[in-house]
Amino acid sequence: MLRPYVLVNVAMTVDGKIDSAARRGATISSATDKRRVDELRASVDAVLVGGKTLLNESPKLTVRNPALRRERLERGLPENPMKVGVVSVANLDLDGDFVRAGPAERLIFTTRRTSPEQIVRLEKAGVQVFVSRGSERVDLGEMLETLHRLGVRRLLVEGGGTILAEFFRLGLVDELSIYLAPRLFGGATAPTLADGPGFLPNQAPRLTLVSVERFDPEGGILLRYLIPSPSTL
Ligand SMILES: NC(=O)c1ccc[n+]([C@@H]2O[C@H](COP(=O)([O-])OP(=O)(O)OC[C@H]3O[C@@H](n4cnc5c(N)ncnc54)[C@H](OP(=O)(O)O)[C@@H]3O)[C@@H](O)[C@H]2O)c1
């Protein structure tokens, strides 16, 4: 299967939470880390989020620094990477930042549970909609093949915890960056880096630590891991 190289990036508290239990998109990242994530976004062809993050937060997903956007244009790339959402019912806000902020190509991968009327509304707003053949879920492997066909070679997946767990379960992650903030959110229901049902120990993905960087004065730590593909385990 031809698919893009998949990088996951999250900001996490020391107790593994990527948001508080209130799930309102709490800021975890520091100013230094936000600059790093901006550079990471500027280095990829597409940025992807899961349905809950998309519907509840409508993230911009664009490159903030104008110099980085200019560099992309000079390299013959679009000003911003493609924005991709995966959602079973694509009832997103057409006035939200995911749709409005750009310029950027916007793609939604969804299921037949999204109404034909909503698909027309999205398409009129300039969003490309891909409806999966299956009824309930988007096949993430097929989606990656489609993105590869559309020219995506590096894909950044930014969360949340449910879609990340699915990417890990399917062995579709090549690299993981975690900004570990010196905070502790707690809460059994607060989202983590990999939610869903979890993995049995013998099926849990194994990661290879490649770098550790300390961000001072804020006391954050950047951890970078590679995830060996199943064939190299
Ligand atoms: N700190 C960070 O770096 C960071 C980054 C991003 C998000 N977050 C946080 O993560 C939280 C959201 O995480 P979450 O786990 O609730 O949700 P999520 O991962 O953003 O989205 C999960 C939803 O996406 C849809 N989805 C996922 N895979 C699908 C598939 N294969 N086919 C069709 N639909 C699919 C499903 O929607 P349905 O249930 O409708 O089927 C699923 O419930 C928020 O609190 C957000 O702030 C943190």
pLDDT tens-digit series, residues 192-213: 999 999 999 999 999 999 999 9
Q: By 3-state DSSP, what share of the chain in percent is helix, strand and coil, each rounded to 5?
A: 30, 25, 45
Task: Tell whether the model's pLDDT for residue 179 goes beyond 80.
Answer: yes
* 1: confidence class by pLDDT, cuts 50, 70, 90: confident
Residue from 92, 163, 185 whose mutation best tests the ligand 1 pocket (most atoms within 8 A of CB): 163
Q: Bridge partners of 17?
A: 192
Q: Are strands 175-181 and 220-226 parallel, antiparallel or unpaired?
A: antiparallel
Tell whether the model's pLDDT for residue 144 goes beyond 90.
yes
Domain segments of the chain: what residues?
8-214
Q: What are all long-range contacts of 146-150, with beta carbons under 8 Å and residues at least 24 apart?
A: 146/109, 147/3, 147/4, 147/46, 147/82, 147/84, 147/107, 148/2, 148/3, 148/4, 149/2, 150/82, 150/107
Query: Cα 84 to the chain's mean position, in Å?
Result: 8
- Expressed in angstroms and rounded, the spacing between residue 191 Cα and the centre of ligand 1 is 9
Encoded amino acid at 185, one letter: F
Question: How remote is the CA of residue 76 from the centroid of ligand 1, in Å?
Answer: 32
CATH 1.10.760.10 fits 8-214, yes or no: no
User: How many whole angstroms from 59 Cα to the centroid of ligand 1?
Assistant: 12
Which residue CA neighbors atom 45 of ligand 1 most closely? Answer: 23
Question: Who lines ligand 1 at CB under 6 A?
Answer: 10-11, 18-19, 23, 25, 28, 49-53, 57, 86-89, 111, 137-138, 140, 158-163, 166, 191, 195
- Rounded mean pLDDT, 162-170: 97
Determine the residue of 8, 138, 143, 162 to mutate for testing ligand 1's pocket, defined as the one with the most ligand atoms within 8 A of the Cβ atom: 162
pLDDT of residue 233: 44
- Rounded mean pLDDT of the chain? 95
Closest CA to 129 of 103, 92, 158, 95: 92
Specify the pLDDT at position 209: 98
The C-alpha atoms of residue 147 and residue 167 are separated, in whole angstroms, by 15
* pLDDT per residue as tens digits for the range 66-119: 999 999 999 999 999 999 999 999 999 999 999 999 999 999 999 999 999 999
How many angstroms is it from 16 CA to the middle of ligand 1?
A: 16
Residue 3 has pLDDT above 60, yes or no: yes
Q: 32 and 220 in contact (C-beta within 8 Å)?
A: yes
Per-residue pLDDT, 232: 46
- pLDDT computed for residue 230 by the predictor: 56
pLDDT attached to residue 174? 97
Is pLDDT above 50 for 224?
A: yes
Q: How many other C-beta atoms lie within 10 A of the C-beta of residue 17?
A: 23
